């Protein structure tokens, strides 16, 4: 298992979430849109809501259950915890 996503994937995650890329937060190819979808290094899937991104809150919810997976103090902390924007 990898210990971190590639640098380009980390940078793309920073750009999309910090700029609140409206397309990333608006389009869902897998059902009801919940926010910007994220992948974890361990295979989990999550999302961050548009409202949280606009408020610079970094909470990740489980895609299947909508339960809170984690709250991070910063975007860097979210990335360091193994999350990236789904591509």
Closest CA to 45 of 7, 2, 83: 83
> What integer pLDDT is reported at residue 60 of this predicted model?
98
Residue 62 in this model has a pLDDT that exceeds 70 = yes
pLDDT tens for each residue of 1-59:
558 999 999 999 999 999 999 889 987 666 678 999 999 999 999 999 999 999 999 99
Contacts 24+ apart (CB under 8 A), 46-49: 46/83, 48/17, 48/78
Question: Where do the structural domains in the chain lie, given as residue ranges?
Answer: 7-85
């Amino acid at each position: 298992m990898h210990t971190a996503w590639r640098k380009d994937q980390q940078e793309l995650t920073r750009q999309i979430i910090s700029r609140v890329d409206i397309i990333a937060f608006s389009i869902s190819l897998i059902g009801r849109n919940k926010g910007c979808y994220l992948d974890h290094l361990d295979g989990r899937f999550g999302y961050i809501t548009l409202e949280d991104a606009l408020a610079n809150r970094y909470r990740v919810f489980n895609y299947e259950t909508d339960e809170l997976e984690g709250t991070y103090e910063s975007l860097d902390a979210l990335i360091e915890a193994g999350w990236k924007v789904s591509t």
